[in-house]
Structure 1
Amino acid sequence: MDEAKAAVFGVPADALPITTKIVQTDSNLKDTRSEIQPLRTTMDLELCKEARSGDKNILCNLLPPEDASSKDPTEETPEGAAIQGNTSCLLKVTPEENTALHIIASRGHLEFAKEICRREISLLTAPNKRLDTPLHCAARVGNVEMVSYIIKLATEHDKENEVLRATNKENANALHEAAKYDRVDVANILMEKDPELASMLNCFEMSPLYLAMASRSLKVAKVLLQFSYWKEASPKSYAGPNKKTALHAAVLMSREITQDLLQRKPMLTKYADLLGRTPLHYAASNGDRHMAKLLLEQDSSTAYLADANGLFPIHIAASMENIPVVDQILKHCPDADELLDKGGKNFLHVAVKWKRLDLVRKIISEKPALRKLLNDQDNNGNTPLHTAVKNSDQGSVHFLLRDKIVYVNIINDDGFTPLDLAYEKLDEDLPFRTNSTEVCIASCLASIKACSSPQELHDLESGELSSDEAKEKPSGDDMFQERSSGNKAKRKPSASSKAKGKPSSSSKARRKQASSSKAKGNPSGDDKFKTSHQKKNDRSKENSSRNEGDEIGRQVNLARNLGIAAVLIVTVTFAAGFTLPGGYIADDHLGRGTAVLAKEYTFKVFVISDALALVFSIIATCWLMHAGTSIVDKHSRRRALSWAMRCLWAAFAGMCTAFGMGIYVALAPSCKRISIPLCIASLGAPIFAHVVANYNVYRLLGTVRIRQGYRQCIWPTIHLHDKKRLAHYSQPSRHVIIFLLLTFGTYAIVFLSAML
């Protein structure tokens, strides 16, 4: 308390007693770093400035000269008096509690440091606010000479362990600092002096070796591993946070260091972290095939070690789509394809779950024997096809269906086939959404004669949708109530009750109990059931009304957007009808006011296609105006939108034809090399636009062709119940046929009419 008051009121430090400073670490352990520590008095600005500059002569001017000739070397002088008379200014600190030796060690002024240590050796172990000693500061900046001098001085004064093994607030020693900042020479000196520094952990449970790997100080890590100490090193020397080892970090960074670690500690391959993941798990996640090969050659049994989530290295590699790592695991462990996670999934299940189609395609193509995994079921009875349908992964669905070894009618534990799951994904939205992923998957399965489960068929016959039942299964109470109600309906009255014509005594008791409960204000069981049933009906009505409102909003917005395109086509075609290519005949010539190129065949095609595009676009505009009215019922709106889109496609084809023919007739015969490609591009524009916009539909048709042949692809025949489920959607093949008829029909009408 006296020292604090003296520091506050500016009392000279010479008048204060020298006390021992006790440093308290984060773990509440008291550690006396030195017999004499600097007081909390502010360092002189001049001393701080000169300590940073490293001018030894100015330091001698600040300190009183030592009269060595008048002193007897054998005479013992009180230690406190010597320091108080000559080195009081050296005991002062900066706001961060750095002494002059901290500052000098950070800047490498060796001669200055020698002079300070000669006058005040206690500064050698003095900590600052972060509990860094001068050795920490010198190791952090990589000053080899300063580090060597501090170690030499500590050895001479029997303070070697105290200086070398001093730790800061992060519980890090000087070797940790050298590893963090990639100070190779400093790490070499420290290891030569005290190899046990490598087994000390900081507050993050990191050894210097692991810290070097985590900080990417690979040169320091190589230097550390060169010492013979590692042959008998303790497990702490390799330790990292969360039970990781240096090998966990090495497999992500350096093959050379990984090889060194495997030579010294082969058992590190089986060490698992807090999540149960071995170094092979990390290599599988990183995707380094050479690292995976190195680990598997050292110990292939690590491929059969699962982590805390039940995932084996092959599952990790499959989820990250690291194909080379999967190849290496299957090469060294051919039976690794049988490994299952907690959910009973093999690595192909996992790949399909994470939509890693390239991995599945390449593994199956290179190893056809693994095709048997395509029909394996997990703990819930789901095959990869079930998983792909649930994820709406159209690419995986088509790949699996194009392999005829895949069974499409496997029922999972919930009683659903892939087709049932596809129907659950359907959202009764717009009738012409044939290119959506969900519709294409359901249509593809239905077209290849996939079947629904018997439960699904029963629901369709009864008029109920099983998708709602699948989304919300009844609870145990509901099932009990349903069964009890069914039993009551089937139960017949007893013969005695028929004879008497009176209710039984048990029914009378129940009535009395119900009337008494009603009188008390407590509803009976039937009333509770009716109330809960009414609440469910109300919620379903609210959801249906909300969905219907969303559907109307989407359809109205679509009608407006399509209306803009229709109006643009009307405008363009109307203007083109009065700006004819080739112009008009002048007034002083025969046939004045008529088109110059009226007798040309291509000009006739231009006029007819332009007129046809104008008519179809006007019709489409009228249909869209009708569909955009909110008072129209949904069935009429759907029909209007469907017909409007067909007219719009015909108008688009006519406009493209008019443009191509107009370019062709306007160019001279010598420019046919330009006009012909332009005509082909114009006529092919509608086809190209349709293929791009409906790419999913064409992929679907390709899958149906491979699975069922061309006939089913061109004109598919599907079951009656599938037609009911797909009633709100146009069949993709029918959609393509309608488009082809519209496009080529328009072309035929135009070109044939021009011959008349």
Structure 2
Amino acid sequence: MESGGKAPSGPPKDKEAKPAVVQQHPKLLMAARKGHWTPLNVLMGATPPVVHAVPPGGLINIVIDDEEADVVDNSATTITLDVELNNVLHVVASSGDGDEFLESARGIYCKAKHLLDARNKKGDTPFHCAARAGMLKMVTHLICLAKAEGGDDRVKAALRKQNEQGETALHAALRLSDKETVRAMVHELWVADPELTRFPLASGTSPLYLAVSLGREDIAEGLHEQDPGLSYSGPNGQNVLHVAVLRSTSMTKNLLKWNKHLSKQGEQTNGSTPLHFAASCGFLETVKCLLDAEESLAYQCDNKGSFPIHEAVKEKQVSVVCTLLKICPDCAQLRDAEGKTFLHVAAKQGYAKLFPPVLQVLLQEKQMFAAIMNMQDDDGNTGLHLAVEAGILETVCFLLWDKEVMLNLSNNERETALDLSQRMRTPGVLFGLGRRVSIHKLLVHADAQYGVHSKTRIPELNEEKEEKRISDSTQTIGVVSALLVTISFAVAFTIPGGYRTDDDPKVDNIKGGMPVLVASHSLQAFIIANNLALLCSAMATISLMYAGVTTVDISMRMKAFVMSIFFLNSSARTLAAAFALGMYATLVPAAGAAVTLTVIGTTITLLDVAWFTYMTSKDQLVLRKRMGVGVALKRFTLLVLRGALACLWPYVIIAGFLAYITLWSK
């Protein structure tokens, strides 16, 4: 036999040569796949093919002489084969379990007994291949062949061989889709080797772990019933309970009955126990089950010092956190490697929904509540520090609710919560509803103090960044401002009700060319509102002009930008009022329609005002327990009035002018 083509003589010098692989003849492979023993017998008796080192490309060209294989063309044939080709007994074992396949397997075994438990490239034996293919008769047949050769010891040695994944034929059988086939295959393997469920011995995926991970509780229970001393191991230092808590509470209970010590074993990667897994996934019933079996599990940390309650908070499992606090109240004071309690973790993540139910549980232990709320981590930060740093207003509100939360504790940087709030505020133009602004105002109103240091750490203004923000905003706001100016100017010459002509009969000395409804107070109010809207939109446009000029000082540009926003909002609200008044003046003969449209227009206009006023004032209600109901309500009322006046001042002017005109006309 000769090598053909341009196959390399050996691997490159910088790479190791792969193990030699014997390539099978195509007809041999076809016969093995079909279970045809006669051609198999003839072909296996042929001269063995030459062994070649596998080149880096993964494919080789070899020439096989088919002279003894009853090939018509007696000349040599060049064949390209995949190097992962299984040996012939593997192929027969996985292809079928009819009589012809069983006969072929026996014939192959008789010619080469070492193939019975030989491994292919993946480390699989024929037992693996037959079990994975669901060939029950073939598995039984192979077991009989092994037993005939060397008794039970030979059978056990063959069945206990593991592939590269550390799995036996039993693992392959457990992955079959048909449950009845699985049961029959497992039973057959167990009869042949009652201790097969104990492999792998040290670490790796045990058959029990695999069965539980696949959700096959009945199979898992059967494995334990057959061999109570079976292996509980799993991958990466886990045990079967790690996967059971993620699959089934009933299976978890069974495992705790079989081996209670499984609950204390941490996985190799980061030391997480089954309770860590269950808590992070939010499986409440499983958590209760584990704690009922061993309450001390709540006090066992992983390699990072994180306890189950920390993991539950990180994954936002509120019900699990509350359950842990009810069953083991002391776990509220457990600290991780950074000295953080579960409260620090929750505050840092900004998970505000956790606080109402958790605080309700903690308040049952008033003395412990104060200690927990004011605990400091290794950096000296309390939960309030971290909540302020994260910028989550809702979390800060919950922490400020109770007087037990101390506002003026300093961290290792001598910063109080107010210092952090001041430092975290972004300098420049800020919107009134910005969370950083709201947090700072709330702390100030709660009488929080700065730390004992010479200077408050206020970040410097990035002028270049602020100029870009203003420039980008002025383009959009300028379009809206110009549009409002145009509308107000056009409406001034389109009076509701139209104008009188010289041919119209004179009424109340109203001459031609004058508005028909000139004597109506609603029309007069409309004119005032429209003119005020025109004035405000013009002021907004002028302010934007100064804000967009780069030669103007940045501080003046910032003030001009804020003024433009203020006048733009006022113009929009005033224009809405003008629309409502104009509709009322036009439809006054139909009183019902006029009133309805006016009410709707006014309501829509005031919704924005009500929302803005409430959002800028509501946080003060949080302080009613800390500052007292009277003080909190007083501040809330003042803020509401100030916000309402800032939004509704155009309406005050309109009403004032209308009242003056009415009184003057009398």
Q: When the two structures are superposed, what TM-score results if normalisation uses the length of structure 2?
A: 0.80
Query: Counterpart of 1:454 in 2: which secondary structure?
Result: coil
Letter in 1 for 2:279: A
| Structure 1 residues 234-288: Cα deviation after superposition (integer angstroms, max 9, x where no partner) | xxx1112232111011111111221221111111111112222211111111111
Q: 1:276 to 1:743 in 2, by over 3 A?
A: farther
- Tell me the distance in 1 between the aligned counterparts of 2:47 and 2:467: 95
**1:242 corresponding residue in structure 2:** 236
How far did 1:749 drift?
4.4
Change in 2 beyond 3 A, CA 1:219/1:649: same
Deviation at 1:203, TM superposition (A): 11
1:289 maps to which of 284, 292, 296: 284
Aligned to 2:350: 355
- 1:687-741 C-alpha deviation (Å, 9 max, x unpaired): 4335556775233333355544565666699xxxxxxxxxxxxx97796255245
Q: Determine the C-alpha separation between the residues in 2 that align with 1:243 and 1:161.
A: 26
Partner of 2:56: none
> Is 1:310–2:305 an aligned residue pair?
yes
5 Å-filtered alignment, 1:588-737, equals 588-590=503-505, 593-667=513-587, 672=592, 676=595, 678-690=597-609, 692=611, 697-704=616-623, 707-708=626-627, 709=629, 736=643
CA distance in 1, matches of 2:338, 2:249: 34
Deviation at 1:566, TM superposition (A): 0.9
Letter in 2 for 1:97: L
Letter paired with 2:26:
D
Q: Output the CA distance in 1 between the equivalents of 2:636 and 2:105.
A: 95
Determine whether 1:374 maps to 2:373.
yes
Query: Residues 451, 81 of structure 1: CA spacing in aligned structure 2 closer, same or farther, 3 A cutoff?
Result: closer
Q: Secondary structure at the match of 2:533?
A: helix
Q: Aligned partners of 1:415 and 1:630: how far apart in 2?
A: 39
Q: Any conservation in 2 of the 1:175–1:197 contact (CA below 8 Å)?
A: yes
Number of the residue aligned with 2:74: none
Give the drift of 1:622: 0.9
Mapped contact 1:440–1:696 kept (Cα < 8 A): no
TM-score (norm 1): 0.71
- Contact kept, 8 Å, 2:428 with 2:558, in 1: the verdict is no
CA displacement 1:312-344 (0-9 Å, x = unmatched): 212222332222222332333233223233333
Which structure ranks higher in relative contact order (CA pairs < 8 Å, sequence separation ≥ 6)? 1
Figure out how many residues of one structure are paired with residues of the other and give that number.
604
Task: Determine the structure 2 residue equivalent to 1:572.
Answer: 487
User: Aligned partner of 1:697: which letter?
Assistant: T
Deviations 1:637-696 (A, max 9, x none): 2332232222212211111112223344455765836x5454334324454335556775
Is contact 1:556-1:630 (8 Å) kept?
no
Secondary structure at 2:572 match in 1: helix
Q: C-alpha distance in 2, partners of 1:8/1:202? A: 45
In 1: Cα distance, 2:87 partner to 2:350 partner: 61
Identity of aligned residues (%): 32
The AA in structure 2 aligned to 1:627 is A
The alpha-carbon deviation at position 386 of structure 1 amounts to 1.6
Letter in 2 for 1:562: I
The Cα of 1:747 is off from its aligned counterpart by 5.2
List per-residue Cα deviations over 1:567-598 (Å, max 9, x = no partner): 12122223333444444556743455554444
Which residue of 269, 273, 279 corresponds with 2:274? 279
Q: CA deviation at 1:436?
A: 1.6
Contact residue 566 and residue 648 of structure 1 kept, 8 A: yes
Q: Helix, strand or coil: the match of 2:364? A: helix
Name the residue aligned to 2:655. Answer: 748
Specify which of 415, 434, 437 is matched with residue 439 of structure 1: 437
How far residue 156 of structure 1 moved from its aligned partner, in angstroms, is 2.6
Deviations 1:609-639 (A, max 9, x none): 2222122101110111111100111232233
**1:427-454 per-position Cα deviation (integer Å, ceiling 9, x unaligned):** 3212x53322222111111122222223
Inter-CA distance 189–582: structure 2 relative to 1 (3 Å threshold): farther
**What does residue range 472-551 of structure 1 map to in structure 2 within 5 Å?**
547-551=462-466
* Structure 2 residue aligned with 1:44: 26
Q: In 2 relative to 1, CA 113–668 (structure 1 residues): closer, same or farther, beyond 3 Å?
A: farther
> Structure 1: 5+ residue runs without aligned partners?
1-5, 11-27, 31-37, 66-78, 460-464, 469-543, 718-730
Q: Do residues 112 (structure 1) and 100 (structure 2) align?
A: yes
Other-structure match for 2:477: 562
Distance 1:62 1:558, change over 3 A: closer
CA distance in 1, matches of 2:306, 2:265: 16
Change (3 A) 1:395 1:94: closer
| AA in 2 matched with 1:140 | R
Partner of 1:212: 211
Return the alpha-carbon distance in structure 2 between the equivalents of residues 193 and 746 of structure 1. 99
Query: Is 1:147 matched with 2:142?
Result: no
Aligned residue for 2:14?
Answer: none
- In the aligned structure 1, how far is the partner of 2:457 from the partner of 2:245? 50
Q: Which has the larger displacement, 732-741 or 571-580?
A: 732-741
- 1:292, distance to aligned residue in structure 2 (A): 0.6
Q: For 1:448-486, what per-residue CA distance to the aligned partner results, in whole angstroms no more than 9, with x for missing partners? A: 22222232xx43xxxxx4457xxxxxxxxxxxxxxxxxx
1:175 aligns with: 170
* 1:361–1:190 CA distance, 2 compared to 1 (3 A): same
Larger proportion of helix: 1
The 1:241/1:125 distance shift into structure 2, 3 A limit, reads: closer
For residues 165 and 40 of structure 2, what CA distance do their matches in structure 1 show? 35
Q: Distance in 2 between matches of 1:754 and 1:174?
A: 100
Where does residue 476 of structure 1 map in the other structure? none
Given that 1:182 and 1:212 are in contact with CA atoms closer than 8 Å, whether structure 2 keeps it comes out as: no
Deviates more, 1:693-702 or 1:627-636: 693-702
Rate the CA distance shift 1:60–1:584 in 2: closer, same or farther, 3 A.
farther
Distance 1:61 1:254 in 2: 52
CA distance in 1, matches of 2:547, 2:23: 86
Kept in 1: contact 2:421–2:436 (CA 8 A): yes
Q: 1:262 is matched with which residue? A: 256
Please say if residues 44 and 89 of structure 1, whose CA atoms lie closer than 8 Å, have aligned partners that are also in contact: no
Conservation of the 8 A alpha-carbon contact between 2:97 and 2:135: no
In the aligned structure 2, how far is the partner of 1:286 from the partner of 1:714? Answer: 45
Give yes or no for contact 2:41–2:107 (8 Å, CA) kept in 1.
Answer: no
The letter of the residue matching 1:421 is: L
Q: Distance in 2 between matches of 1:681 and 1:309?
A: 60
Q: Does residue 132 of the first structure (1) align with residue 127 of the second (2)?
A: no
